[in-house]
């Protein structure tokens, strides 16, 4: 009898199209779900009859309590090689193998600039006006050349965002708790003297930090108050790094020019969430990793993970 594999959050219904699943077709029945299961009870009910689960990024938590309710589960494949919402100890205790896949930093870099440019040039407002017979030119774009781009984080993604900023002729500065002057100079950017100085002096601020106890709530009401009223904030990293209520308050009060956000405390974002109607906000539904090449990698390597597991030699094991 074939094993059953559930593919979660396949919103675009492409998981079985962007990769070749034939290497496991004789052994595995693949069922794709294009809707999100909200809450442990819904997940436990939906996944009760599955032996394998493929999950995207950190969208779906797998705590020990959920794993204990899935007695058939033997293999959990998560896209990416780092996942903070899987209880690895519980997985091991229940005999569940956890594997990952490669993940490219290119898509979130590109989306960061899509949001930043969209904000700076009023793309959404102008497009909506043009298509609806509204005014011809109603916004005045913010220049990038000569302006200061402040990066919170200068890792794989932050450093590539920096390179694009430099190509636009921006003055790029960066800060994080462990960032050194040597690393900043290596990328070709300035090291900000402090988080506060970076926030107060930047025209555009972009967040590229991993979520941890040190970065959770890093930008709260006091920090957002340091931003210029003409400044823009972009967050394609993790929602919890920026206080969502403080951001909403700043947008509603007109204390910053705008924000570009791809990540939220609750995903998918509820239909009545106030961020859906917040002024000065350009928001996307967590598209940072959603690209053709990345999906081909995620699902292609998920197939490899499943085949290797079936052959008794699991690859790319996590953590």
CA-based nearest residue to 274, from 256, 248, 251: 248
Q: Determine whether 123 is exposed, middle or buried from the number of CB atoms within 10 Å of its CB (0-12, 13-18, 19+).
A: middle
In the block, tokens 């077709």 appear at 25
| Annotated catalytic residue 238 | yes
Question: What is the widest separation between alpha-carbon atoms in the chain?
Answer: 64
d(CA 4, CA 31): 7
From the candidates 40, 190, 197, 267, give the one annotated as an active-site residue. Answer: 267
CA-based nearest residue to 205, from 183, 223, 187, 186: 223
DSSP secondary structure letter of residue 86: B
| Annotated catalytic residue 160 | no
d(CA 185, CA 93): 46
| Annotated catalytic residue 49 | no
Phi and psi, residue 234, nearest 5°:
-125, 130
From the candidates 147, 148, 160, 286, give the one annotated as an active-site residue. Answer: 286
Judged by DSSP in three states, 151 sits in strand
| Catalytically active residues, by annotation | 238, 267, 286
């Amino acid at each position: 009898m074939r094993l059953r594999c559930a593919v979660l959050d396949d919103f675009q219904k492409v998981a079985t199209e962007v990769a070749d699943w034939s290497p496991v077709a004789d052994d595995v029945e693949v069922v794709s779900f294009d809707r999100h299961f909200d809450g442990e009870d819904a997940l436990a009910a939906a996944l009760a009859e599955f032996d394998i689960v493929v999950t995207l990024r950190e969208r779906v938590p797998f705590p020990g309590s959920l794993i204990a309710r899935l007695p058939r589960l033997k293999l959990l494949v998560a896209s990416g090689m780092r996942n903070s919402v899987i209880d690895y100890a519980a997985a091991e205790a229940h005999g569940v193998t956890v594997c990952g896949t490669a993940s490219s930093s290119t898509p979130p870099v590109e989306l960061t600039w899509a949001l930043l440019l969209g904000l700076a040039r009023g793309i959404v407002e102008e497009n909506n006006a043009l298509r609806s017979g509204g005014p011809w030119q109603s916004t005045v774009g913010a220049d990038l050349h000569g302006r200061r781009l402040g990066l919170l984080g200068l890792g794989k993604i932050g450093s590539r965002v920096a390179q694009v900023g430099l190509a636009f002729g921006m003055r790029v500065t960066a800060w994080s708790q462990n960032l050194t002057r040597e690393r900043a100079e290596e990328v070709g950017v300035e090291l900000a003297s402090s988080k506060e100085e970076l926030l107060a002096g930047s025209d555009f601020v972009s967040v590229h930090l991993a979520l941890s106890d040190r970065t959770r709530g890093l930008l709260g009401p006091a920090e957002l108050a340091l931003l210029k009223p003409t400044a823009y904030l972009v967050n394609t990293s993790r929602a919890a790094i920026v206080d969502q209520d403080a951001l909403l308050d700043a947008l509603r009060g007109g204390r910053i020019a705008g924000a570009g956000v791809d990540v939220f405390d609750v995903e998918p974002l509820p239909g009545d969430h106030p961020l859906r109607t917040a002024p000065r906000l350009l928001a996307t539904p967590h598209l940072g990793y959603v690209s053709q090449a990345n999906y081909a990698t995620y699902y292609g390597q998920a197939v490899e993970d499943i085949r290797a597991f079936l052959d008794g030699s699991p690859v790319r094991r996590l953590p």
